[in-house]
């Protein structure tokens, strides 16, 4: 049976679009996902009230949810709290574990905390956290798909003005060697699927979501990803569908890219299907 995974990112409660919250919840639940990953920036300013709003949102999702913190989930404008209790509100309202994992026989969701109080914008994937994720990748059966969830991308677009995350290149190589299959991230508020074969890491498919709810859209629509792992004909098939919010504040499937995994890593099985009509 195929596994359906939903990837959300950069919800930014405090700079969110309230009119989209119910449509987003309905769209996610309507897909009956097996797992949901949220790759950071649940809040805009890390206030307790914003985390409570994020908690309410998560509690309305009818599937297991894995979250990791983003840079906006640290209280950057409160320096004392930022350095001495940086994750206090996150731990209180979201999860005590900053790099959580959800392990099933067929899919492992492995969170990586890329946040350090002194590295607010760029991000830092510590070697200890990467090594722990690598051990989890190796811990399962050979057929299990290992999905890494991180806020900061391990690769930036060529036109990006942001600096690369600390340990990104080493981390990507380490995770690939350990058997990571997919990396989900956000941070840039830009949709991007690094289409294989990726010369830096052909073994890993990287999927970057934009923002699910924020008003900080940066010229792109609010979106999320639906990832279907396996198909009726092959467990090595995978599809990525971008769902976007339209003018009537309803989410609809926009495009699908299909992949197949062979001996040489991920390959694009079909080109993007624009304006796909969802089943």
- Residue 81 reports pLDDT greater than 70: no
The pLDDT assigned to 279 comes to 35
What is the DSSP code string of the chain?
--EEEEEE----BTSB-HHHHHHHHHHHHHT--SEEEEES--BSS--HHHHHHHHHHHHT-SS-EEEE--GGGS-TT-HHHHHHSTTHHHHHHT-S-SS-EEE-SSEEEEEE---BTTBTTT-B--HHHHHHHHHHHHHS-TTPEEEEEESS-SS--TT--SPPPBTHHHHHHHHHHHT--EEEE-SS---EEEPSPPSS-TT-EEEE---SSBS--TTS--EEEEEEE--SS-TTEEEEEEEEE-TTS-EEEEEEEEEEEETTEEEEEEEEEETPPP-
The distance from CA 105 to its chain's CA centroid, rounded to whole angstroms, is 21
As a whole number of angstroms, the distance between CA 104 and CA 206 comes to 21
* Mean of pLDDT values over 251-259: 93
pLDDT band at 267 (very low <50, low <70, confident <90, very high): confident
As a whole number of angstroms, the distance between CA 205 and CA 10 comes to 20
Residues 151, 40 contacting (CB under 8 angstroms):
yes
Most confident listed range (130-144, 191-205, 255-269)? 130-144
List the domains of the chain with CATH numbers.
Answer: 3-274 (3.60.21.10)
- Residue 70 reports pLDDT greater than 60: yes
Cα Rg of the chain (Å, integer):
17
Please write the tens of the pLDDT for every residue from 94-144.
999 999 999 999 999 999 999 987 776 789 999 999 999 999 999 999 889
pLDDT band at 247 (very low <50, low <70, confident <90, very high): confident
As a whole number of angstroms, the distance between CA 241 and CA 238 comes to 10
- Residue 166 reports pLDDT greater than 80: yes
- Residue 276 reports pLDDT greater than 50: no
Please write the tens of the pLDDT for every residue from 138-159.
999 988 999 999 999 999 888 8
- Residue 214 reports pLDDT greater than 90: yes
**Which pairing describes strands 145-150 and 107-112: parallel, antiparallel, or unpaired?**
parallel
Tell me the torsion sign for CA atoms 253, 259, 260, 266: negative
pLDDT band at 66 (very low <50, low <70, confident <90, very high): very high
The pLDDT assigned to 79 comes to 66
* Mean of pLDDT values over 231-259: 90
Is 200 or 206 the better-scoring residue by pLDDT? Answer: 206
Is 118 or 223 the better-scoring residue by pLDDT? Answer: 223
From the CB of residue 44, how many other CB atoms can be counted at a distance below 10 Å? 19
Is 117 or 172 the better-scoring residue by pLDDT? Answer: 172
The pLDDT assigned to 152 comes to 96
The pLDDT assigned to 8 comes to 98
- Residue 40 reports pLDDT greater than 80: yes
Share of the chain above pLDDT 90, in %: 72
The pLDDT assigned to 4 comes to 97
């Amino acid at each position: 049976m195929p596994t359906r995974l939903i990837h959300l990112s950069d919800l930014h409660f405090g700079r969110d679009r309230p009119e989209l919250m119910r449509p987003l919840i309905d769209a996610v639940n309507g897909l009956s996902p097996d797992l949901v990953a949220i790759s950071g920036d649940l809040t805009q300013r890390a206030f307790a009230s914003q985390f409570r709003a994020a908690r309410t949102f998560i509690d309305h999702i009818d599937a297991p949810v894995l979250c990791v913190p983003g840079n906006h989930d640290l209280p950057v404008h409160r320096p004392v709290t930022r350095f001495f209790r940086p994750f206090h509100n996150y731990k209180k309202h979201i999860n005590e574990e900053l790099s959580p994992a959800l392990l099933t026989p067929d899919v492992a969701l492995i969170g990586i905390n890329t946040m350090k109080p002194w590295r607010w914008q760029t991000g830092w994937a510590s070697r200890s956290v990467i090594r722990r994720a690598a051990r989890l990748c190796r811990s399962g059966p050979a057929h299990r798909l290992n999905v890494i969830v991180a806020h900061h991308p391990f690769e930036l677009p060529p036109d990006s003005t942001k600096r690369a995350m600390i340990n990104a290149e080493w981390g990507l190589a380490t995770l690939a060697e350990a058997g990571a299959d997919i990396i989900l991230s956000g941070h840039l508020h830009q949709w991007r699927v690094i289409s294989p074969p990726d010369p830096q890491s052909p073994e890993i498919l990287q999927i970057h979501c934009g923002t699910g709810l924020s008003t900080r859209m940066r010229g792109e629509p609010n979106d999320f990803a639906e990832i279907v792992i396996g198909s009726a004909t092959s467990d090595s098939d995978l599809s990525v569908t971008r769902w976007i919010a339209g003018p009537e504040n309803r989410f609809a499937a926009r495009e699908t890219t299909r992949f197949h995994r062979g001996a040489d890593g991920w390959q694009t099985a079909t080109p993007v299907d624009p304006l796909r009509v969802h089943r």
